[in-house]
């Protein structure tokens, strides 16, 4: 009986020690595993990694992230992509060009381009069958710097013969007006808008620029922005040249000086800024015809109105950059 009790006591002692040892071993193993997990950065399942902390307000929305990525990925404008309407008319292989209408849907529907594909530059990148064809991007004549950047990206993607029609669809329509008589007995090259002046916004059509559009055009190094000293508009813009008074000869002289000063930068557009009450009128059609095939864009308005609009734009940009009041990341 005593021997049985002794054996029972020994078994209990051995079992207790084994349990303690096993517990210690498990604790050490778990600690090491936990340390290894933390070291490898796998504290969470892979599917949960990269999620923002609860309560964080610092992340961008998916749309904002996509916009930022596209802006960062957009290359510098390629001025070699520009193709003037005069060059296009002289091209013996004009019929081989595939026209791609990249204008906004409302503009494309209001004034369609016969036979043109309606694609954005982003969608055009996926059309591999067009990479070896002659592709002509036709816009609305505004914001051509962005379109020239898209042209460069298409070249990088393998589009070997892609160009941008300088002045877009409006300039092509003006080219057609110059080629055909518009009145009985008129000679080719006499547009029907010969009496249009800068005092009226109606005849300008697609050439008219709002204040934000004017600011964007003035940022493009390929454009020449011109105004008169009396208008007082040029000092409000980042770049521009001034005239004492409007005349075709003075505008041409500024263009020649610009070409001499920047021989490596082709002239994309001439942007006229005009305050009707401050300086004399100038026939718009006369300037367009004299400067053809260079597109002419126009902003009509007072310096005080432009100053107010630019201040509002700047305030909106600052407010957007600062964003709404929000807690710091992780709070």
CB 123 within 8 A of CB 101: no
CB 151 within 8 A of CB 165: no
Closest alpha carbon to 214 in 321, 79, 310, 316 = 310
Distance CA 131, CA 154 (A): 9
Print pLDDT tens along the chain (331 aa). 555 555 555 555 545 554 445 444 444 444 443 333 333 333 444 444 444 444 444 555 555 555 555 555 678 999 999 999 999 999 999 999 999 999 999 999 999 999 999 999 999 999 999 999 999 999 999 999 999 999 999 999 999 999 999 999 999 998 988 876 544 444 333 334 444 555 444 445 678 898 889 988 999 999 999 999 988 899 999 889 999 988 899 999 999 999 999 988 899 999 999 887 666 676 677 888 899 999 999 998 888 888 888 888 888 877 776 766 555 554 4
Show Cβ contacts of residue 288 under 8 Å, excluding neighbours closer than 6 positions.
Answer: 174, 191, 296
Distance CA 216, CA 271 (A): 11
Show Cβ contacts of residue 201 under 8 Å, excluding neighbours closer than 6 positions.
Answer: 208, 300
Show Cβ contacts of residue 285 under 8 Å, excluding neighbours closer than 6 positions.
Answer: 191, 193, 194, 195, 196, 203
Residue pLDDT, tens place only, 43-65:
444 444 444 444 444 555 555 55
**HSE of 67, CA atoms in CB hemisphere, 13 A:** 5
Closest alpha carbon to 199 in 308, 309, 291, 301 = 301
Q: What is the pTM (predicted TM-score) of this model? A: 0.69
Structural tokens at position 80: 């070699």
* Residue showing tokens 């990694």: 49
CA–CA–CA angle 236, 237, 242 (5° rounding)? 90
CA dist 192 to 142, 174, 223, 287, 289, Å?
23, 10, 26, 14, 11
Structural tokens at position 163: 């160009």
Show Cβ contacts of residue 279 under 8 Å, excluding neighbours closer than 6 positions.
Answer: 228, 230, 231, 245, 246
User: What SS3 state is found at 328?
Assistant: coil
Show Cβ contacts of residue 66 under 8 Å, excluding neighbours closer than 6 positions.
Answer: none
């Amino acid at each position: 009986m005593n021997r049985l009790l002794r054996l029972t006591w020994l078994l209990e002692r051995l079992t207790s020690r084994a349990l303690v040892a096993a517990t210690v071993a498990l604790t050490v193993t778990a600690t090491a595993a936990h340390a290894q997990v933390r070291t490898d950065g796998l504290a969470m399942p892979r599917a949960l990694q990269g999620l923002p902390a609860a309560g964080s307000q610092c992340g961008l929305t998916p749309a904002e992230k996509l916009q930022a990525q596209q802006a960062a990925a957009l290359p510098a404008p390629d001025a070699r992509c520009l193709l003037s309407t005069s060059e296009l008319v002289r091209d013996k292989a004009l019929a081989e060009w595939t026209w791609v209408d990249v204008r906004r849907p409302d503009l494309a529907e209001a004034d369609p381009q016969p036979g043109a594909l309606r694609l954005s530059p982003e969608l055009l990148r996926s059309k591999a069958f067009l990479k070896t064809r002659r592709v002509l991007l036709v816009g609305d004549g505004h914001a051509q710097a962005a379109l020239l950047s898209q042209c460069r990206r298409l070249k990088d993607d393998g589009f070997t013969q892609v160009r941008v029609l300088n002045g877009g669809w409006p300039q092509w329509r003006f080219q057609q007006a110059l080629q055909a008589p518009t009145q009985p007995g008129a000679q080719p090259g006499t547009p029907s808008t010969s009496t249009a002046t800068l005092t009226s916004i109606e005849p300008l059509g697609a050439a008219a620029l709002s204040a934000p559009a004017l600011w964007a055009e003035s940022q493009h190094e390929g454009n020449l922005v011109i105004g008169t000293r009396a208008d007082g508009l040029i000092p409000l813009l980042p770049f521009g040249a001034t005239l004492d008074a409007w005349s075709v000869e003075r505008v041409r002289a500024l263009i020649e000086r610009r070409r001499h000063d920047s021989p490596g930068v082709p002239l994309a557009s001439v942007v006229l800024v005009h305050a009707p009450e401050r300086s004399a009128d100038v026939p718009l059609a006369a300037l367009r015809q004299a400067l053809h095939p260079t597109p002419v864009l126009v902003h009509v308005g007072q310096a005080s109105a432009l100053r107010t609009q630019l201040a509002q734009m700047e305030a909106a940009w600052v407010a957007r950059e600062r964003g709404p009041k929000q807690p710091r990341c992780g709070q």
